[in-house]
Structure 1
Amino acid sequence: MRVTNVRKPESVADSVDERLFPEEGSAEGCASGDCLPGEEPEPEAPPPPVAQGRDNPALPLAERWRAAVETVRGASARHGTSLAHGRLLWLRPGEVGVAYVPSAAFHRSIIGAPSGKAVVEKALAEHFGRPMKLAVEEASAEVAASTVSIAEQDSQARAAHTQSTEGKVRSHPAVRSVLKLLGGEIEHIQVIEPERPSASPAPEVPEDSA
């Protein structure tokens, strides 16, 4: 019997070579970056922490400004007092504008000096929880006629309180009876004002150890 077209079986060595040496890739190889592992995306940086201030935007503007002045007064009584004599022009994110009438020129010089402005801006930054710039101007006639400073408000309130208190004392039945009995008169009434609370709490004094 004659057999034709018999295919020669593959050798074991050839099959082993095929398994050990797979087909090569492109000529560029690792130079093209094909064999490099995939780079993982860098994690996003966390947002910067929000500074905590003492300002409460929900309050009326007048109360917010008074609280800010009290914070400055707590840091420096001198600069806080001079700032209270300024009339608020605007209160914006990062900026405060105040104006001084000619009669408050002394207080304007305290706040307008570079050293004074630095003290005030630092205290305002702590109060509002962000860097603050202070703009100091001379009050125009319109500003002088339409606004009052915190110091002027307090002065008017004290005068009204003193006048009201004197009237109540002089008209009190017990006082009138004593004056009628003794035949005297009231020359002067001094009203003692309560101490204004500080904007910052007083430091705790450690107790003496036994």
Structure 2
Amino acid sequence: MNSDSSLGISRRALLGVFAATAVTAAPTFSNAAGFLRGAGDIRRIRMYSGRTGERIDTIYWIDGEYIAEAVREISLFMRDWRTGQAVAIDTRTIDIMTAAYNLLEVNEPYMLLSGYRSPQTNAMLRAQSSGVARNSLHMRGQAADLRLDSRSVNQIARAALACRAGGVGRYSRSNFVHMDCGDVRTWGA
């Protein structure tokens, strides 16, 4: 059995998560929203893109309301860097990313490898790799591929899986985790 520290999730974070979910079990969006309730009345996301050199550090939710301008900024940040196209990123995906991040108790921003993908980009990537889905949720703005230097793929994936709010893919050879707001499922090693 692994200790809490080897998972990259502190005992305090896990106890807070369990307390939050015991009080607020969300039947439709699973645990991600419950985990975020323990974050107070503010939700914040921090990311950078190695592809564009851009960084984002923004509060996108306060007192039960999404901040439309902040969500638009996140959507622009998560655009297809190859084409410049952007779509509205599903706030459920942003919440899953934030909940997993909070469980990991890190200070560094996520490195965003892929957010929205245009159909053209998805087709090009699919031609290069069997690991790219034909109907990828990236094309709907419902997925993100992320990395943290201070945490392993398994640590990040375990935090995302704890949210029980969407798909979680482990890509250990490429050192990233896929998170989406689709059906709850997992894959990869």
TM-score with structure 2 setting the length: 0.24
Normalized per residue, the structure richer in strand is 2
Q: Which of structures 1 and 2 has the bigger CA Rg? A: 1
TM-score with structure 1 setting the length: 0.22
